[in-house]
A = this chain, B = another copy of it.
């Protein structure tokens, strides 16, 4: 990570690639607004002017990063998909540092309002909706909402990585923390959390509130 200077492979990259990589790292870490072009330039070991020379503007650089990372992710997903038919869109055992960084980046991009990331979110919702119809038909009668909530929770938890990691005592964007999180997630998806009594009461409360809202 902290290729200050001296890492041979890192030094061998073209300046353009170094800028892109540094930008991805910093955007993923701090978000778009909190990252300055001067920060990126320093991290890449170049002058700030070079960013403009190669990418035109900060916004264009961000789009290039979006494109790069999102492409990498769909490629990874395709590989995973053919490799073992894990068709579930829920979670993948993504433990390689690069993959983790990519997820971190996309999560931030979602919060930063990146159109590309938003499109990916929509795709995932659509995919999940289909998957539900095929593989888990009984769980709900509002597939759309269920899929939206599922994808939102999954990506949202990554957005809360600081807090989840703190509670866990391990960074969920490292292999160790990610696996512990994945374990809990598996528990979560395999057992119902609420007992039927409680669920019935909750449903009743919801329908009452809905009726009250419509009546008003």
Known A121-B163, A158-B156: A184·B140 in contact at CB below 8 Å: yes
Interface of A is mostly: helix
A211 to chain B, nearest CB (A): 10
* 19 A-B residue pairs with CB within 8 Å: A33-B34, A93-B205, A93-B206, A95-B213, A121-B163, A125-B167, A140-B184, A146-B187, A146-B188, A148-B181, A149-B164, A150-B188, A152-B157, A152-B164, A159-B159, A175-B209, A175-B213, A183-B206, A186-B199
Question: This chain: how many copies in the complex?
Answer: 2
Known A110-B160, A111-B159, A163-B121: A181·B149 in contact at CB below 8 Å: yes
A6 at interface, CB cutoff 8 A: no
Asked if B183 and A194 sit within 8 Å, CB to CB, the answer is no
Interface size, A (range)? 35 or more
Bound together, the chains give a CA A194 to CA B131 distance in angstroms of 11
A11 at interface, CB cutoff 8 A: no
Bound together, the chains give a CA A148 to CA B185 distance in angstroms of 10
Asked if A206 and B193 sit within 8 Å, CB to CB, the answer is no
CB within 8 A of A147: which of B93, B150, B167, B176?
Answer: B167
Asked if A190 and B196 sit within 8 Å, CB to CB, the answer is yes
- B residues in contact with A140, CB < 8 Å: 184, 187-188, 191
- B residues in contact with A90, CB < 8 Å: 193-194
Bound together, the chains give a CA A159 to CA B147 distance in angstroms of 16
Bound together, the chains give a CA A110 to CA B166 distance in angstroms of 13
- Which residues in window 149-173 of A have CB below 8 A to B? 149-164, 166-168
A74 at interface, CB cutoff 8 A: no
Bound together, the chains give a CA A180 to CA B144 distance in angstroms of 10
Q: Mark A69-108, 1 if CB is under 8 A from B, else 0.
A: 0000000000000000000101001010000000000000
A56 to chain B, nearest CB (A): 23
